[in-house]
Amino acid sequence: MLIRPETPSEFDAIRELVRAAFATARHANGDEHEYVDRLRSSGGYVPELALVAEETGRLIAHILLTRIFLSGADGPRPVLLLSPLAVAPDRQNQGVGTRLARESLERAAALGHSAVIVLGDPAFYERIGFGTSTLFGIINRDGFDDRNVMALELRAGALANGMATVSFPT
């Protein structure tokens, strides 16, 4: 499996991959493929952290990390948002998503990013090191269940500055 940055020529194929990956997901709203487009158009798009997993010339997974900001008493702090992580239906539950997520986090740390926020399934994200964001003093303003809003420090102490809030891009 080859993990590499996405290319603009693959955007249509990635849209279809994301659509298919979330078609049967327990927690999906049906617009995840459009969310990817909106995040790419945002000022937080980091092309080096928009990755695909390819196998024998076929895209089998996609992950996107974009820059967002935590709001706190000390002002806005940049972090990354991991969203979404999509794996082709026939490759789910085979470790592809875990491998792609870990690779994206390693690349983010190597690029100097300090922390990552995700809205997702704790059973998956806790396995790769995420913890409930409230443990870091981060509250979500969007009303999501706090158990599903998680954070990971890529640099020790990066989230130790006290209370902050996160609002997810729409």
Query: What pLDDT is attached to residue 93?
Result: 95
Query: What pLDDT is attached to residue 27?
Result: 72
Distance, CA of 38 to CA of 32 (rounded, Å): 10
Tokens 């695909």: give the residue. Answer: 52
Residue by residue, pLDDT tens for the chain (170 residues) are 999 999 999 999 999 999 999 998 877 777 899 999 999 999 999 999 999 999 999 999 999 999 999 998 888 999 999 999 999 999 999 999 999 999 999 999 999 999 999 999 999 999 999 999 999 999 998 989 999 999 999 999 999 877 899 999 98
Q: Write the CATH number for 63.
A: 3.40.630.30
Contact of 131 with 146, CB cutoff 8 Å: no
Query: What pLDDT is attached to residue 148?
Result: 94
Distance, CA of 104 to CA of 4 (rounded, Å): 10
Tokens 């702090």: give the residue. Answer: 77
Amino acid, res. 107: R
Domain containing 40 equals 2-166
Residue 8: CB atoms within 10 Å:
8
Tokens 């895209």: give the residue. Answer: 59
How many domains would you assign to the chain?
Answer: 1
Residue 62: CB atoms within 10 Å:
25
Query: What pLDDT is attached to residue 170?
Result: 84
Query: What pLDDT is attached to residue 160?
Result: 87
